[in-house]
Amino acid sequence: MNAHGMQIHRCNRGSFASDVLDLLRGIAAFAVFFGHARSLFLVDYKDVENKGPGVQAFYLVTGFGHQAVMLFFVLSGFFIGGNVLHLMLSGKWSWTSYLISRFTRLYVVLLPGLLATLLCDVAGIHWSESDALYSGASDTSVLEGSVKDRLNATTFVENSLFLMTLRMPVFGPERVPTFGSNSPLWSLCNEYWYYLIFPCVAGCFLLARRKLFYWLAVVACGAFFVVFGDNLAHGFAIWLLGAAAALNLGFAMSPRRKWAFILLATGAVIGVLVLVRTGKLAGLTGDTCVGVATALLVHGIVIGGKANSPRWFQWLTERHTERVRKYLQGLIR
């Protein structure tokens, strides 16, 4: 127990909790991939003429991409936010080590992604038989507007500095666009700023030294949200739910109650997803409900699965989700 009376849940590699969370990340990664692929190559559901049961099922199953991103925010908050809290509470916090670790994880994903986008878009523009995809005439949900207008050096530099989707009043009312056809880059921008802002917030309460610095940093972060990144604020609240899931509340629960909690949380996640996909929950309300339910599930998995998982489950999670997880979510740990 530390001076603040707080404890943080930690996931050991090979434990049942760690393997289940890895499996969730793998499922979410596939959900994002299939959602983007469907939006890119197929028409939106509203434009489908023959909406038979098979078509309805296909569009339902492949329509959880946005909710999967909310799950990623919760998991990122749990792993990164929980680690920040652990380091601060144990007296091992270092801004230098933290920033090197985070920047490395982010840029290993971002820079190759920007270069791959440049090569693929240039090749597509020159060799594609149809100009609709790159001119904005295709009107897909993942390629809004003209790709050609976003394929320039200025946008490349802005994206490399994690400014995509932010509002820059100095340059006009428009938000900084994502580079080329790579619209999913918006989530990396969110993660980058969450990584910077959360230690400032946590430092105000957990670090005894340089209190004034951290409070000033929090004020600056608040001003940043208002002026530049108002669209990031709600996602940060969902990210914080993941950090809260890492807190050890000290409640003694029997194994049976732990599993009952996990089952109830799983039911809550499924129920919320059904309500979102059927239109009963939408917008920020739907995202918030997904975040709360996911955070409860993550907390339940962690408190209920500290023992090593069975060999068959380790094989399932490691063999079938490792490649996708490493490629799409290397930044979370």
Tens digits of pLDDT across the chain (333 residues):
555 567 888 777 767 788 888 888 889 989 998 888 888 777 777 778 788 888 888 888 888 989 999 999 999 999 999 999 999 988 899 999 999 999 999 999 999 999 999 998 888 888 776 666 777 666 666 676 788 888 999 999 999 999 888 877 666 667 888 998 888 888 899 999 999 999 988 888 887 677 777 778 778 877 777 777 777 888 999 999 999 999 987 777 777 888 888 889 999 999 999 999 888 988 889 999 999 999 999 999 888 765 455 565 556 555 555 554 454 444 444
* Phi, psi values for residue 143, rounded to 5°: -135, 70
Q: Which domain holds residue 293?
A: 7-329
Q: The whole model's pTM is what?
A: 0.84
Is 105 inside a domain boundary? yes
Is 2 inside a domain boundary? no
Per the structure, the count of domains in the chain is 1
Is 50 inside a domain boundary? yes
Give pLDDT, residue 77: 95
Is 259 inside a domain boundary? yes
Is 1 inside a domain boundary? no
